[in-house]
Each structure stands twice: as structure tokens, then as C-alpha cells.
């Protein structure tokens, strides 16, 4: 089975949950910008939540199926069109051989959509993942974005489980997406680098997502944060969610494709459960921050995972 890419748009790639454990080799985690949306898309069509799917940063994407399969599109405000007929997002839909499948967006949609199909995406595993790392030119389909004419093969027999067709993900379990959000953070390890009241200013202020935002990092625009010491530190390991502050005082949140080490002071870290909410913001959207402790962050993560496990029990996994 294969999907044929008719319109690739700009920047669509193959992604899964990324490469964990390769930071010492300088290989970023990568993977889906909104991990929950990718996992739910896979579960809806009967795949394992770790399966690879298609991440789409714009709605100008269209494929044709050459075999019957289940498809699902997730992401805030994303819907699915099959042969021009609209279906809700976050729901499994049966597509027949020859159908035209097009993820689309409603007004006020989020930045990233995910298209999964039963059987999962079959591309080579590189460093434990099928995710595309564009800067490194590896993973996914030849280490590049998708283009017109590409054929995306399935890893397993995509024979659809008709019992899953029409099943949706419970709306009350979705994250609190929006274009003005509050993200939970843990204080960073270099607060002594910043001036008196800098951290308090940060958590009391509202920032906007800047235009210089991509899979590597989201630039924030707002009240600059003063330093009392040099912004530079000895480079040390960083992870997605870390909020660095450079010499101009502007925060930068590291995202999926972020480097593995950094030499700027870190004022805070966005908790893992909220990274997908941040990822779905577009330039101009606003974000505020709410401090939590490690115990609260862990509890939120476990709650999110339990929701996925409970939903998995209602689906058939290949």
C-alpha cells in the first residue's frame, strides 16, 4: 500500500516521537512538534502511538491512496477532506482506493497538523527513529521534506478495522490549545545570572511568538530580561522546553530539533506536557507562564499518559 503525494505544500515531513538517548552524539531528539497530536492520530487508525506519520505545517497538502485504509488528521482546528467531503479532525475515517485525501484547516487553526494512516509509514530507522531531521539530512524519506510524486509506503498491512471508523478522541482529553495560552514552567538552573526581579518579571509578563520561530526554537518577544553576569556559560546539555536568554534579553524556547548543548543561561523550562500547546502557536500569538514544581510537572505528564493508555484500550493496535 502507498500514498502518492499529489501536492506537497511546504515543509511536510515524516515524523514519529523522535530519537531519545543520542544527545551525547550531538543528535537532537527531533520528532513531532506536537507529540500528543501524533500519538492520537496513530491510535485512531489502529497504529501504535510510536508509529511514524506525516507532519504538515501548512494546509496545502494532498495525497491519493491506492488501497483502502483508515486515515485521521489531528491538530487544533485541523479537519480532513476526502474527495472534497469534509470530516472532523481527531476522528478515524475510512478512505477507499483512489480517494483524494486532503488535511485542511478551519479558521484559527494551530500550526501543525498530523496525518496518520493504518499500517504506519515505512521508512528506514535511523538512530532508533523514522523522524526526518532536515538540518542533518537524514531520517524520514531521504532526509528531506516531501515533494510531489513521492510514494509513502505502509509498514504493515493497512487493512482497515472498520470498527474504528468514525471513532473520535474525547474532546475533554485534549490539551488547552489556543492563541493565548499559559504554559507551566520549572525554574531554570542559572537564575543567579539574571537581575533582581528578572524571574518575577518573566512569570508576570505576556510574550508574543516571534517570526523567527521554527522546529529548532520559538523566539519570544516581550519585556527583556536583564543580566547581572555574562549571559554565556560553559556549554552544557539542553533539552526541548529549555528557555534560554541571550545577550539581548529575549527568551528563546528550544523545540524538537534544538541543538543538544547550549551556552546561554536558562531562566526556566516548559514542562513536557505543555510543549505541544506551545508548538501549535503561530507568530503573533501570546503566551504567559505559570511556575510549578517537579512533582506537579510529573503528575501532569502521568495524567496525559494515562489518558492515552485509556484510549488505547478502545483501539486495535497492529
User: In the chain, where are the structural domains located?
Assistant: 2-172, 180-306
DSSP designation for 254: E
pLDDT for 165 equals 94
Q: Kindly indicate whether the domain formed by 180-306 is annotated with CATH number 3.40.50.970.
A: no
pLDDT for 295 equals 95
CB 13 within 8 A of CB 132: yes
- State the Cα–Cα distance between residues 99 and 85, nearest whole angstrom: 11
| Helices and strands counted in the chain (H then E) | 4, 19
Return the closest-CA partner of residue 116 out of 91, 151, 96, 141.
Answer: 91
pLDDT for 316 equals 55
pLDDT for 318 equals 47
Output the nine-digit C-alpha cell for 134: 532536515
Could you give the strand order of the β-sheet that contains 53-56, starting from the edge strand earlier in sequence? 13-15, 53-56, 113-117, 69-74, 93-95
Rounded to a whole number of angstroms, the CA Rg of the chain reads: 20
- State the Cα–Cα distance between residues 49 and 99, nearest whole angstrom: 25
Return the closest-CA partner of residue 39 out of 281, 275, 312, 301.
Answer: 312
pLDDT for 145 equals 97
CA 284, 252, 277, 123 torsion-angle sign: positive
Half-sphere exposure of 21 (CA within 13 A, CB side): 4
- State the Cα–Cα distance between residues 40 and 35, nearest whole angstrom: 9
pLDDT for 51 equals 97
Give residues with Cβ within 8 angstroms of 159, minimum separation 6: 68, 118
- State the Cα–Cα distance between residues 39 and 113, nearest whole angstrom: 12
CB 51 within 8 A of CB 16: yes
pLDDT (tens place) for every residue of the chain, 318 residues total: 679 999 999 999 999 999 999 988 999 999 999 999 999 999 999 999 999 999 999 888 999 999 999 999 999 999 999 999 999 999 999 999 999 999 999 888 999 999 999 999 999 999 999 999 999 999 999 999 999 999 999 988 888 889 999 999 999 999 999 999 999 999 999 888 888 889 999 999 999 999 999 999 999 999 999 887 776 777 888 999 999 998 889 999 999 999 999 888 899 999 999 999 999 999 999 999 999 999 999 999 999 999 898 888 877 544
Helices (H), 101-228: 198-204
- State the Cα–Cα distance between residues 81 and 86, nearest whole angstrom: 4
Return the closest-CA partner of residue 208 out of 290, 260, 293, 281.
Answer: 281
Q: How far is CA 267 from the centre of its chain?
A: 23
The pair phi, psi for residue 36, each rounded to 5°, is -65, -45
Output the nine-digit C-alpha cell for 240: 526541548
Give residues with Cβ within 8 angstroms of 105, minimum separation 6: 59, 77, 78, 79, 113
Amino acid at each position: 500500500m502507498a500514498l502518492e503525494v499529489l501536492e506537497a505544500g511546504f515543509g511536510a515531513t515524516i515524523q514519529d516521537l523522535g530519537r531519545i538517548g543520542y544527545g551525547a552524539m550531538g543528535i537532537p531528539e527531533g520528532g513531532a512538534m506536537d507529540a500528543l497530536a501524533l500519538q492520537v492520530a496513530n491510535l485512531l487508525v489502529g497504529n501504535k502511538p510510536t508509529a511514524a506519520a506525516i507532519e504538515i505545517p501548512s494546509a496545502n497538502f494532498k495525497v491519493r491512496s491506492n488501497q483502502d485504509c483508515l486515515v485521521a488528521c489531528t491538530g487544533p482546528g485541523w479537519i480532513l477532506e476526502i474527495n472534497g467531503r469534509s470530516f472532523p479532525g481527531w476522528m478515524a475515517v475510512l478512505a477507499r482506493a483512489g480517494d483524494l485525501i486532503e488535511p485542511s484547516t478551519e479558521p484559527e487553526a494551530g500550526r501543525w497538523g498530523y496525518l496518520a494512516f493504518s499500517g504506519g509509514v515505512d521508512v528506514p530507522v535511523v538512530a532508533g527513529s523514522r523522524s526526518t531531521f532536515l538540518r542533518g539530512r537524514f531520517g524520514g524519506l531521504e532526509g528531506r521534506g516531501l515533494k510531489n510524486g513521492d510514494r509513502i509506503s505502509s509498514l504493515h498491512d493497512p487493512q482497515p478495522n472498520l470498527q474504528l471508523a468514525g471513532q473520535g478522541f474525547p474532546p475533554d482529553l485534549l490539551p488547552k490549545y489556543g492563541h493565548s495560552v499559559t504554559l507551566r514552567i520549572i525554574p531554570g538552573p542559572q537564575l543567579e545570572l539574571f537581575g533582581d526581579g528578572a524571574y518575577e518579571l518573566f512569570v508576570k509578563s505576556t510574550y508574543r511568538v516571534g517570526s523567527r520561530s521554527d522546529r529548532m526554537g520559538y523566539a519570544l518577544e516581550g519585556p527583556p530580561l536583564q543580566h547581572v553576569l555574562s549571559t554565556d556559560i560553559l556549554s552544557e546539555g539542553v533539552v526541548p522546553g529549555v528557555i534560554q536568554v541571550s545577550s539581548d534579553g529575549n527568551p528563546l524556547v528550544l523545540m524538537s530539533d534544538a541543538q543538544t548543548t547550549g551556552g546561554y543561561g536558562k531562566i526556566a523550562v516548559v514542562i513536557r506536557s505543555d510543549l505541544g500547546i506551545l508548538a501549535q502557536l503561530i507568530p503573533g500569538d501570546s503566551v504567559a507562564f505559570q511556575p510549578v514544581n517537579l512533582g506537579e510537572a510529573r503528575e501532569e505528564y502521568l495524567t496525559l499518559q494515562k489518558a492515552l493508555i485509556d484510549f488505547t484500550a478502545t483501539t486495535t493496535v497492529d
